[in-house]
Amino acid sequence: MEPHIYREGALVGWIEVICGSMFSGKTEELIRRLKRAQIARQRVEIFKPAIDQRFSEAEVVSHDENAIPSTPVDTASQILLLAGDADVIGIDEAQFFDLDLVNVVQRLARDGKRVLLAGLDQDYQGRPFEPIPQLMAVAEYVTKLHAICVVCGAPANHSQRLVANDDRVLLGAKDAYEPRCRRHFSPTPVPTSAPIAKPARQATPAAPTPTVSDAIS
């Protein structure tokens, strides 16, 4: 359930953080909450980092292709300028902003706005991915989601990089990452292994050709 906080009949602002590994449903959950706010006829503004153009330049899109219109911004401070009189602020891929985002969302919450953020809490090496840890610390509500480990099926909270690249920020989807549990995660990029070849189907042995001696016997 989404939180509802009231004080003397007036809506009080707060911060909600949705975090986890890739493919854990963070953006899907963010979109769900924002659409519910729209159904409730609340004024909603949605933002995403301009560098994230994997699926769309002007929409927040989940891996399940669920989408909602958004405004791309280059810096967190632009969100303050564009938030206007919105009641609810949504921010996707929050890990791509710098630490100034913490101050921005704190100010929005103090102004009485509900702020929802989604982002990776760990980078491809399993290290805390700023500013998500700092946002989790100041948020009233934190939801941590898990994917499914592609190796063993256990809950996955790591994003395994599949391409040889040491950049901390590397945009990609299933071509570059897959979810892994703690046991099967490696902080070193692991190229996708070649598919295991299935054994060739053996032909049914042919019946032996009858010989003359067989016919006589």
User: What residues are labeled active site?
Assistant: 93
Residue type, 153: G
| Cα separation, 179 vs 91, whole angstroms | 23
Strands of the chain (E only): list them.
6-7, 10-11, 14-20, 44-49, 59-61, 67-69, 71-73, 88-91, 114-120, 141-145, 147-148, 155-156, 158-161, 177-180
Q: Are 76 and 94 in contact (CB under 8 A)?
A: no
| Cα separation, 14 vs 117, whole angstroms | 11
By CB atoms closer than 10 A (0-12, 13-18, 19+), residue 107 is middle
Write the CB contacts of 168 (distance below 8 Å, at least 6 apart in sequence): 123, 124
| Cα separation, 134 vs 123, whole angstroms | 15
